[in-house]
Each structure stands twice: as C-alpha cells, then as structure tokens.
C-alpha cells in the first residue's frame, strides 16, 4: 500500500515536523508537557516515578525522530543488513544510556534540578529490561550498542516476554523466585499492531503438482498463532544512527478466537484458546547453560524464528531483487543454537513458498547464516526429540532429514573408508527416542562458525566439532573474542573514572576507540593522576558499602579489600571454591593471636547471582554463602578482618554499582568450561584486578595486561580430562586444607550440616568433577599473594592503572568490526551520507 504524502502537501508536513530539544529550557518544556498531558499529572502530584516517566518520554521523542530517519536512510541505501537473532537481550535500563548516547545527560540533570529532582533518583526509578539469563544475553545487548554506535544497519530480533528473568529474594538464606512483570510502564517500546505474522504449528504435510508441473509441498491445517511486533529504538553513541530491536508478542489469531464457539456458548473454551496462544511469549526460560527440552520452549523458538524470517524476507522482497541476491542483502547471526530452526524455516520458505529448487535454496541458506557457539558443556548442547519435532513441525522435520541425507552422502563420498564418521556427524542421534542435534544443524546450515574466545574457539575445533573441521576444512571455523560496550560499562557505570580518563586523553574519543586507552600508561607515575584514580576507586567502594549496609544490614569497611564474585550460580563457575576458601580464611583468623591478627589484610567477600529454579546444587551454594556470612559477620573475634555478603537479585543495574567498587573479582571456572566470560573484562576496565583460572577470555586479558597484573592459578584445560579420569580410576586424596573446611561444615558451625551434604559429597564421594580439591591449594596460595600485593598500595595502583590502559582490545566495537568483516560482509552507513 502506497502511504506517502503527495508532493503538494509535503511542505506543510515538513514545517510541522517534530523537532529535537537541545537546551535545558527545551528539555524542561518537553518533560513538563509529558507529565501534564501524556501522564495527566501536575506539579502538585509529580513524584519521582512521574518525573522519570516525563524524562523518559522526552528522550523517547528524541530517539524516535532519529530512529525514523535511520530506518528511512537504511531503506533508501538498500545495502546489506545484519539481523542478530537472540532469544535473550539483557538490556538493563534504557534512560541513562539514551541520555549519554545522545550527549544530553548534563542538560537533563540541570533541567531536573530546576524541577526539583535529583538525576540519580530519577534514573533508579526505571525497571531493568531483564530479557536474559546472563552473559549470552548481555553480550547481545552490548552488540546492539556497538552496531548502532558504528553505524551498521542492523536489527535485533527476540521475544517480548511478559516476564523476564525472575527476581531473586533471599528468605532465611534461601533463594525464592518472584515473577518479574516488567511491562506495566515501558515507554521504550512501540506496539506495531499492523506488523503481524501468522505462525503455524502442528498440522499436516501434503504434496501436489503446480501449474508448471512442479512437485510442491504444503504444510497446513495446524494451529495458528499471531506474532505482533513491538519495536524498541537502539541509539548509537555519538551518532544519530538509531537501530531497531524487534520483539514478537504472541496472541490468538482471529481465526483462533472462534466466534462459532463463542456464540454456541463455548465462551470459556475460546478464552482458553486465547490464553494458550499468549503463553508462547509469556516467560523467559530461567536456565543458563542448561537445556531441558520442554515443548513450550521449542514453540517459542519456532514462533520467533518464523516471525523474524517472514519479516526479513518481506523486507527483501520489497526491493524486487532476484533471490540470488538474498545473501548479499541479508546476514543472519544465530546467537547459540536457540534460533537454529531459522535454517530449515528459510529453506522451507524458499522451496515450498517461493518455488526455488532445493540446491539453489540451500546455497542461499548457507550463505546467509553464521552461527556463534557459546559453550562446550554437554548439558547445554540443545537436542530436540524427533517425535516432538514431528508433532509440532512436521514439514521442518522432513527438511531436516533431507539436509542430513544430502550432508551424509557428501561425507560418505569424501571419507569412504571411515565407517564410524556418519553416525558421529549425523544431525540425528540414533538414541531412543531419536534426537535432533541442533549444533550440528547450525554448523551445516551456516557459512561460518565462531567461538567467543581463543581457547574456546580452539576447543570447539578439537572436541564437539572435530569431525566437521575435517569435513569442511578449518576455515569455516573462526574466533571472535567477546567484548563489552565501554559506554555502559565505563562511562555510565563509572562516570568519575570516565571523566578522569577524558581529562588526560583530551576528550571522550576513547569511548569510540577504546584502544586509545593505551595513552594512559604515560600517566602511571603522575602523582595527581594516581591520587585521583585511587580516590575514585575508594568513592565507588564507599557507594557499594552504603548499598551493602542498606540491603544486607552489614557494615563493611571501604578500606578493606573488596573481593567480588557476581555471575550465574553454576557448579562449573565454582562459587563453591570461593566459599570454601572463605571458610578456610575464617579458620585461619580464628587460630591467630592478637598480634598475628594485626597483620591480616581485611577483606569483604561479596557474592551475587541467580540459581536456575530447579538447580538444587546451585541453590545449596547460595544457602551456604548466606549461612557462612551469618556466622562470620557476627563473630566479634573476626570483626572487620572478614565480612561475607550475598547481594540479592544481581542484575544489570546492580552490576553498574558493584563492578566499579571491586578490588579483585573472581573468574575461577574449571579450566576449559567457561567459553569466554565478559564480566572479567568489566571489572578490569574499572580498575579492579582478576583472580582467575587459565580459561576463556582470562587468557587474553593476561596477554593484554601482562601476567604480572593478573592472579592466575589452577590446573590447565589440557590436564582436566586426565585428572578426571585419574579420580575415577585411582580415587584421589582430598586436599588437607579443604578437608578441614569440610570438617568444619560437618560439625554444624554453619547450621545443620545435612543441608550442605550434597555439595560436600559431590567432591568427596562423586569424583569432584569440577576439580575443586585439585585447585584448592593453588587458589588459597594465590589469595594470600593478593593480600600481600594489596598491602603494597602503590604497586597495586600501578597494576590497576596499567591494566585499564591495556583493555582497549575488549571493546564490543572491536567484536562487531570483526564480525562485519569476517562473517557478515557488511559496511557501515554513516548518517552524513545520503542525509535523509
Ligand atoms: F550454554 N553463556 C550464557 F552456551 O550466558 F548457551 N548462557 C548460555 O546459556 C550459554 C552460554 C550457552 C555464556 C558463556 O557461559 C560465557 O562464557 C560467555 O562469555 C557468554 O555466554 C557470551 O559469549
């Protein structure tokens, strides 16, 4: 439908076209107008929530103007776009980010002060958009920020969950999950009731011969659910480029709300049907690095992939280009295997709906997709049962079998002498029931596969995808080491440090090119700079100490060493190693004379993170941390020498307070299990040091900052398999210090020992799969080294400054440029060119 205004009327249109505020006066004008009209409030009943809403709406207007222009410009330029398919986008708050990215935070701050409000109070009114579990979802959010900041034409696609990741409450030391209904006021989303896609489930497949005598396949007679688009603007930093994040919401199709049922008195049934449809986008699955094979999850995945592909194909078809140009116009990145159904779905669209030949279609599919792997953990690799896919997506199962059959024929021809290879690389696992291995389908359907840190990218080539390297050659596999956006994780979370750096580097250009940080090295001996740098760290620790007092009721000394481990609770991430180390430290202190105690470096051990609701071992760790904290924090003999706190409901906005306030942070996974880690980068960028294993991005952080500036310990990835095998064959000697820790737990020091037996037994009786005992001594020794190093404050400050200066590599801008060049083959579209 042609909907543009005729030439003759455009002058009037342009005269009244929306304008962007620039000054404090104009901001106040916009905010007050929104508070008084949009919200129907007045100066007599404007609380902080209303002031937040008015501010957000004022900035939203600004974003929308640039968003519209960007979309017009990108459509007009008609160059290749990238689509980032991720089931998770852990965005956090949007207002602060919007103000900083458009460069008007100071203007708004003064304006709000005029109106009687403090900026911090207003910002903290906003609820986090928590549509993700952990690192994978936050990475997607950082990538959106970088894509827009670098002016790439890019869209994110995901689901509009009504409930994001649950809110965590700690009750009597236990985790309790509370639903996160976040949508009652969300000024950042725009419902597009005119952008809908009908999605088919179940039903049947039939063949017919079309007018040209071609054999065609149709899939129909199933249940139809409608996808409705909700869009959110993604502003770039220091550019007007504003990209789009499109979230799909499910609702009953008109056919579904059955009026015959309704009229014949089956009102309840028709409402029930409606609710069933809405259930698809109702809730984010709260498992991190674990696959549970639930039908509703598969429905979510297909619903989202099908709606997104329909949308992408619809946009491509508007350009009237031939299909052979598809992969020159469209790059689709699969964030882990969750969107793998997009592969058979695009093949289905091209073959069944558009009438392309199989091979022609398959060439397009492979050229379009790239796949990012984020784990080698077997329990996280997705598999779906063949009967379930057969039932829910009968046509897709046929297509998957056809893809597999052609692939296996090719493998058989290439490796005629290898009998076992076909069974090993088949997309179908011959188990009972048969399973579809989604990672294999993703590898086969993509032109590039990448891991997320060097070690991880090497590991996938030698373990889970070893055979595929042989089949396709090594060039199909590559590495893009993860990164973080310095806008949120330095400028926004740590404005004082950002300002100090800008004062030395002559402005904020380093936020667009983080490698410029290297110039800070020149100031490492500058007395004033060192003093300022240290004072900022101290102020951030004071802020964190206030937060701890407010939320945990524990008074901590900001001069103590703040030791932080915040991330999802998982056995492979080894929070248990940390808390056992804390217990060891407690026992050491208890055994000291008053004289010895004077030499102890005071510490605060800070934990935070959510456990998946069904993950008992992880929940036990949370409980143990809280019990240990209760005992130690109340022990007068220990006092300020050791405090232990568990921060409730760790999320993005809390990370923005916690990360800048850390001296040392823990990234202590069993070597070879953490694909990359990204919070390690955030801590170092904010002037904290890392204690970590030789795993994931820790290794590259070491390469960049120098091994004298990081505290590495523990066994290496290459030795893990042998150690595990030895445990099983010979058994193993429990580390004596760890043994003493377990005796303390068993004695009931931290409450009924039975509550922690599973945790202790997994190490003592069940082979210590995560090598906690093997790494314990080395961990304790390294922690002691940290105490000594921290006591030499001048050396410590030197380490932290040099580390910050050397973190340029870890900007997510670098990641996006690498993806663009190696995988997507796309170019930026600068606002100045084609100025719409
Ligand atoms: F298991 N990651 C995550 F690979 O946060 F799917 N959730 C997940 O479900 C998975 C991975 C999955 C994380 C990795 O654990 C972390 O090492 C990495 O830095 C992050 O993804 C981003 O790549």
Is residue 9 a part of any domain in this protein?
Answer: yes
Q: Residues 400-426: pLDDT tens digits?
A: 999 999 999 999 999 999 989 999 999
pLDDT band (50, 70, 90) for residue 258: low
Residue 345: count of CB within 10 angstroms of its CB: 23
Q: Residues 27-54: pLDDT tens digits?
A: 999 999 999 999 999 999 999 999 999 9
Pocket lining: 373 vs ligand 1, CB cutoff 6 Å: no
Q: How far is the CA of 458 from the centre of ligand 1 (A)?
A: 16
| Percent of the chain's residues with pLDDT above 70 | 98
Q: How far is the CA of 336 from the centre of ligand 1 (A)?
A: 8
Pocket lining: 696 vs ligand 1, CB cutoff 6 Å: yes
Q: How far is the CA of 254 from the centre of ligand 1 (A)?
A: 38
Specify whether 292 is located in the same domain as 362: yes
Q: Residues 348-357: pLDDT tens digits?
A: 999 999 999 9
**Ligand 1, atom nearest to 678 Cα:** 19
Is residue 512 a part of any domain in this protein?
Answer: no
Pocket lining: 336 vs ligand 1, CB cutoff 6 Å: yes
Q: How far is the CA of 19 from the centre of ligand 1 (A)?
A: 42
Specify whether 122 is located in the same domain as 135: no
Gap between the Cα atoms of 311 and 296, Å rounded: 22
Is residue 499 a part of any domain in this protein?
Answer: no
Q: How far is the CA of 681 from the centre of ligand 1 (A)?
A: 15
Burial (Cβ within 10 Å: 0-12, 13-18, ≥19) of residue 651: buried
- The answer to whether residues 677 and 135 touch, using CB atoms and an 8 Å cutoff, is yes
**pLDDT (0 to 100) of residue 265:** 74
Pocket lining: 289 vs ligand 1, CB cutoff 6 Å: yes
List all residues 6 or more positions away from 47 whose beta carbon is below 8 Å from its beta carbon: none
pLDDT band (50, 70, 90) for residue 270: confident
| Assigned token pair, 248 | 């799909």
Q: How far is the CA of 510 from the centre of ligand 1 (A)?
A: 28
Pocket lining: 139 vs ligand 1, CB cutoff 6 Å: yes
Q: How far is the CA of 674 from the centre of ligand 1 (A)?
A: 8
Of 651, 657, 658, 679, nearest to 130 by C-alpha is: 651
Specify whether 531 is located in the same domain as 460: no
Residue 225 φ/ψ region, left for φ over 0, alpha for ψ in the -120 to 50 degree band, beta for the rest: beta
N- to C-terminal Cα separation, the chain: 22
**Ligand 1, atom nearest to 452 Cα:** 23
Average pLDDT score over residue span 111-136:
98
Is residue 10 a part of any domain in this protein?
Answer: yes
Of 130, 196, 190, nearest to 165 by C-alpha is: 130
Average pLDDT score over residue span 186-203:
98
Of the residues 135, 456, 815, which should be mutated to test ligand 1's pocket, given the most ligand atoms within 8 Å of the CB? Answer: 135
List all residues 6 or more positions away from 774 whose beta carbon is below 8 Å from its beta carbon: 714, 715, 723, 732, 735, 768
- The answer to whether residues 326 and 364 touch, using CB atoms and an 8 Å cutoff, is yes
Closest-CA residue, ligand 1 atom 8, reads 289
Of the residues 138, 284, 289, which should be mutated to test ligand 1's pocket, given the most ligand atoms within 8 Å of the CB? Answer: 289
Gap between the Cα atoms of 63 and 99, Å rounded: 10
| Assigned token pair, 591 | 């055994």
Which run of H or of E encompasses 192? strand 190-201
Q: Which residue has tokens 């089949």?
A: 471
pLDDT at 293 > cutoff 50? yes
Pocket lining: 677 vs ligand 1, CB cutoff 6 Å: yes
- The answer to whether residues 632 and 743 touch, using CB atoms and an 8 Å cutoff, is no
Q: Report the chain's mean pLDDT, rounded to a whole number.
A: 97
Of 144, 100, 98, nearest to 494 by C-alpha is: 100
Across the strands, what pairs with 370? 333, 448
Closest-CA residue, ligand 1 atom 9, reads 289
701 alpha-carbon distance from chain centroid: 20
**pLDDT (0 to 100) of residue 835:** 39
Specify whether 723 is located in the same domain as 766: yes
Closest-CA residue, ligand 1 atom 1, reads 289
Sheet-wide strand order for 603-608: 642-647, 603-608, 561-566, 664-667, 689-692, 711-712
**pLDDT (0 to 100) of residue 259:** 65
- The answer to whether residues 156 and 832 touch, using CB atoms and an 8 Å cutoff, is no
- In the chain, the number of structural domains is 3
| Percent of the chain's residues with pLDDT above 90 | 94
Across the strands, what pairs with 605? 563, 644
Q: How far is the CA of 153 from the centre of ligand 1 (A)?
A: 25
Pocket lining: 256 vs ligand 1, CB cutoff 6 Å: no
pLDDT at 256 > cutoff 60? no
Q: How far is the CA of 289 from the centre of ligand 1 (A)?
A: 6
Burial (Cβ within 10 Å: 0-12, 13-18, ≥19) of residue 640: middle
Of the residues 297, 439, 463, 675, which should be mutated to test ligand 1's pocket, given the most ligand atoms within 8 Å of the CB? Answer: 675
Greatest CA separation for the chain: 95
Specify whether 733 is located in the same domain as 642: yes
Give the range among 2-6, 64-68, 488-492 with minimum mean pLDDT.
2-6
Choosing from 428, 451, 481, the residue where a domain stops is 481
pLDDT band (50, 70, 90) for residue 778: very high
**pLDDT (0 to 100) of residue 255:** 60
Closest-CA residue, ligand 1 atom 2, reads 136
Specify whether 347 is located in the same domain as 459: yes
Active site residues: 374, 567-568, 573, 678, 682
Give the range among 247-251, 262-266, 489-493, 796-800 with minimum mean pLDDT.
262-266
CATH code at position 651: 3.40.50.2000
Is residue 254 a part of any domain in this protein?
Answer: no
Pocket lining: 375 vs ligand 1, CB cutoff 6 Å: yes
Pocket lining: 288 vs ligand 1, CB cutoff 6 Å: yes
Q: How far is the CA of 611 from the centre of ligand 1 (A)?
A: 15
**pLDDT (0 to 100) of residue 755:** 97
Pocket lining: 380 vs ligand 1, CB cutoff 6 Å: yes
Write the DSSP assignment of 679-704 as a string of letters: HHHHHHHTT-EEEE-S-TTHHHHHHH
Q: How far is the CA of 139 from the centre of ligand 1 (A)?
A: 9
**pLDDT (0 to 100) of residue 750:** 98
Write the DSSP assignment of 778-828 as a string of letters: HHHHHHHHHHHHHHSHHHHHHHHHHHHHT-GGGBHHHHHHHHIIIII----
Specify whether 120 is located in the same domain as 135: no
**pLDDT (0 to 100) of residue 834:** 39
**pLDDT (0 to 100) of residue 17:** 87
Report the 3 state secondary structure along 298-319: HHHHHHHHHHHHHHHHHHHHHC
List all residues 6 or more positions away from 337 whose beta carbon is below 8 Å from its beta carbon: 371, 373, 381, 382, 438, 439, 441, 442
- The answer to whether residues 589 and 629 touch, using CB atoms and an 8 Å cutoff, is no
**pLDDT (0 to 100) of residue 257:** 53
Q: Residues 615-652: pLDDT tens digits?
A: 999 999 999 999 999 999 999 999 999 999 999 999 99
Closest-CA residue, ligand 1 atom 11, reads 374
| Assigned token pair, 10 | 């455009």
- The answer to whether residues 565 and 606 touch, using CB atoms and an 8 Å cutoff, is yes
Choosing from 481, 500, 515, the residue where a domain stops is 481
**pLDDT (0 to 100) of residue 53:** 98
Specify whether 293 is located in the same domain as 383: yes
Gap between the Cα atoms of 89 and 140, Å rounded: 6
Of 311, 91, 48, 301, nearest to 188 by C-alpha is: 91
Specify whether 732 is located in the same domain as 791: yes
Of 718, 720, 825, 835, nearest to 769 by C-alpha is: 720
For the full predicted model, state whether its pTM sits above 0.90.
Answer: yes
Is residue 560 a part of any domain in this protein?
Answer: yes
**pLDDT (0 to 100) of residue 19:** 86
* Domain encompassing residue 135: 80-87+131-181+286-481
**Ligand 1, atom nearest to 697 Cα:** 19
Pocket lining: 337 vs ligand 1, CB cutoff 6 Å: no
Pocket lining: 141 vs ligand 1, CB cutoff 6 Å: no
Specify whether 638 is located in the same domain as 701: yes
Pocket lining: 452 vs ligand 1, CB cutoff 6 Å: yes
- The answer to whether residues 690 and 681 touch, using CB atoms and an 8 Å cutoff, is no
**Ligand 1, atom nearest to 338 Cα:** 6
Is residue 201 a part of any domain in this protein?
Answer: no
Specify whether 462 is located in the same domain as 565: no
Gap between the Cα atoms of 91 and 130, Å rounded: 6
Closest-CA residue, ligand 1 atom 10, reads 289
Specify whether 587 is located in the same domain as 560: yes
Pocket lining: 134 vs ligand 1, CB cutoff 6 Å: yes
- The answer to whether residues 50 and 229 touch, using CB atoms and an 8 Å cutoff, is no
Q: Residues 528-583: pLDDT tens digits?
A: 999 999 999 999 999 999 999 999 999 999 999 999 999 999 999 999 999 999 99
| Assigned token pair, 774 | 């093997």
Of 694, 715, 693, nearest to 771 by C-alpha is: 715
Residue 616 φ/ψ region, left for φ over 0, alpha for ψ in the -120 to 50 degree band, beta for the rest: alpha
Is residue 769 a part of any domain in this protein?
Answer: yes
Q: How far is the CA of 801 from the centre of ligand 1 (A)?
A: 29
Which run of H or of E encompasses 375? none
Q: At what angle do helices 793-805 and 527-552 cross, to 10 degrees?
A: 90
Classified as helix, coil or strand, 377 is: coil
Closest-CA residue, ligand 1 atom 21, reads 136
Write the DSSP assignment of 101-140 as a string of letters: HTT-HHHHHHHHHHTT--HHHHHTTSPPEEE--SHHHHHH
Pocket lining: 344 vs ligand 1, CB cutoff 6 Å: no
Pocket lining: 812 vs ligand 1, CB cutoff 6 Å: no
Gap between the Cα atoms of 777 and 763, Å rounded: 15
């Amino acid at each position: 439908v042609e909907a543009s205004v005729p030439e003759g009327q455009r002058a009037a249109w342009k005269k009244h076209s929306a304008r962007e505020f620039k000054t404090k006066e104009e901001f106040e004008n916009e905010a007050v107008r929104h508070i008084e009209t949009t919200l129907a409030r007045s100066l007599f009943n404007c609380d902080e929530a209303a002031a937040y809403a008015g501010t957000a709406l004022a900035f939203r207007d600004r974003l929308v103007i640039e968003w519209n222009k960007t979309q017009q410009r990108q459509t007009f330029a008609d160059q290749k776009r990238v689509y980032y398919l991720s089931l998770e986008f852990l965005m956090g708050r949007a207002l602060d980010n919007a103000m900083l990215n458009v460069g008007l935070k100071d203007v708004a701050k003064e304006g709000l002060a005029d109106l009687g409000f403090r900026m911090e109070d207003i910002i903290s009114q906003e609820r986090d958009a928590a549509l993700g579990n952990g690192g994978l979802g936050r990475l997607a959010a950082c990538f959106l920020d970088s894509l827009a900041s670098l002016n790439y034409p890019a869209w994110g696609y995901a689901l509009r969950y009504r409930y994001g990741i649950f809110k965590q409450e700690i009750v009597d030391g236990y985790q309790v999950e509370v639903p996160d209904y976040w949508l009652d006021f969300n000024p950042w989303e725009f419902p597009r009731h005119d952008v809908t896609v009908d999605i088919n489930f179940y039903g049947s497949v039939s063949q017919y011969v079309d007018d040209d005598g071609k054999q065609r396949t149709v899939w129909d007679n199933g249940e139809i659910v409608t996808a409705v688009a909700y869009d959110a603007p993604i502003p770039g930093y220091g550019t007007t480029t504003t990209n789009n994040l499109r979230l799909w919401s499910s609702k009953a199709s008109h056919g579904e709300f059955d009026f015959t049922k309704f009229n014949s008195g089956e009102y309840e049934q028709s409402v029930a049907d409606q609710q069933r449809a809405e259930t698809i986008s109702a809730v984010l699955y709260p498992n991190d690095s674990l696959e549970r094979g639930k039908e509703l999850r598969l429905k979510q995945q297909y619903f989202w992939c099908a709606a997104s592909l329909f949308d992408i194909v619809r946009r491509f078809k508007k350009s009237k280009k031939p299909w052979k140009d598809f992969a020159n116009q469209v790059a689709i990145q699969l964030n882990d295997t969750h969107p793998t159904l997009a592969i058979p779905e695009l093949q289905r669209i091209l073959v069944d709906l558009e009438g392309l030949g199989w091979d022609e279609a398959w060439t397009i599919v492979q050229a379009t997709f790239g796949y990012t792997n984020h784990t080698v953990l077997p329990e996280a690799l997705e598999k779906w049962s063949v009967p379930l896919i057969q039932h829910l997506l009968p046509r897709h199962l046929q297509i998957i079998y056809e893809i597999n059959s052609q692939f296996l024929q090719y493998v058989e021809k290439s490796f005629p002498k290898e009998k076992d290879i076909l069974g090993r690389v088949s997309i179908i696992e011959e188990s009972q029931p048969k399973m579809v291995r989604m990672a294999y389908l993703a590898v086969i359907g993509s032109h590039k596969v990448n891991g997320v840190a060097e070690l991880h990218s090497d590991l996938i080539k030698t373990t889970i995808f070893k055979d595929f390297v042989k089949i396709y050659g090594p060039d199909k596999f590559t590495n893009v080491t993860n990164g973080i956006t310095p806008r949120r994780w330095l400028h926004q979370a740590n404005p004082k440090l950002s300002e100090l750096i800008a004062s030395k580097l002559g402005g904020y250009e380093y936020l667009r090119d983080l490698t410029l940080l290297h110039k800070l090295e020149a100031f490492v001996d500058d007395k004033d700079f060192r003093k300022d740098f240290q004072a900022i760290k101290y102020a951030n620790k004071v802020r964190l100490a206030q937060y701890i007092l407010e939320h945990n009721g524990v008074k901590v000394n900001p001069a103590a060493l703040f030791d932080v481990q915040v991330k999802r609770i998982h056995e492979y991430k080894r929070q248990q190693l940390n808390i056992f180390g804390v217990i060891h430290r407690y026992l050491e202190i208890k055994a000291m004379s008053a004289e010895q105690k004077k030499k102890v470096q005071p510490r605060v051990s800070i934990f935070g993170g959510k456990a998946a609701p069904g993950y008992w071992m992880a929940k036990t760790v949370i409980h143990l941390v809280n019990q240990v904290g209760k005992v130690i924090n109340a022990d007068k003999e220990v006092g300020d020498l050791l405090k232990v706190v568990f921060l409730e409901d760790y999320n993005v906005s809390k990370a923005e307070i916690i990360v800048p306030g850390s001296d040392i942070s823990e990234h202590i996974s069993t070597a070879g299990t953490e694909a990359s880690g990204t919070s390690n980068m955030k801590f170092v960028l904010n002037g904290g040091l890392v204690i970590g294993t030789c795993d994931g991005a820790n290794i590259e952080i070491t390469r960049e900052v120098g091994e004298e500036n990081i505290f590495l310990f523990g066994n290496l990835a290459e030795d893990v398999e042998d150690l595990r095998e030895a445990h099983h064959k010979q058994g193993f000697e429990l580390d004596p210090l760890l043994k003493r820790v377990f005796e303390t737990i068993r004695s009931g020091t931290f409450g009924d020992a039975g509550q922690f037996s599973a945790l202790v037994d997994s190490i003592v009786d069940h082979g210590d799969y995560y090598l906690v005992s093997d790494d314990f001594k080395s961990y304790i020794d390294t922690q002691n080294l940290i105490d000594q190093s921290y006591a030499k404050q001048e050396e410590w400050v030197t380490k932290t400054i040099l580390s910050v200066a050397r973190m340029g590599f870890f900007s997510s801008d670098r990641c996006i440029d690498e993806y663009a060049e190696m995988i997507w083959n796309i170019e930026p579209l600068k606002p100045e060119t084609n100025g719409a």
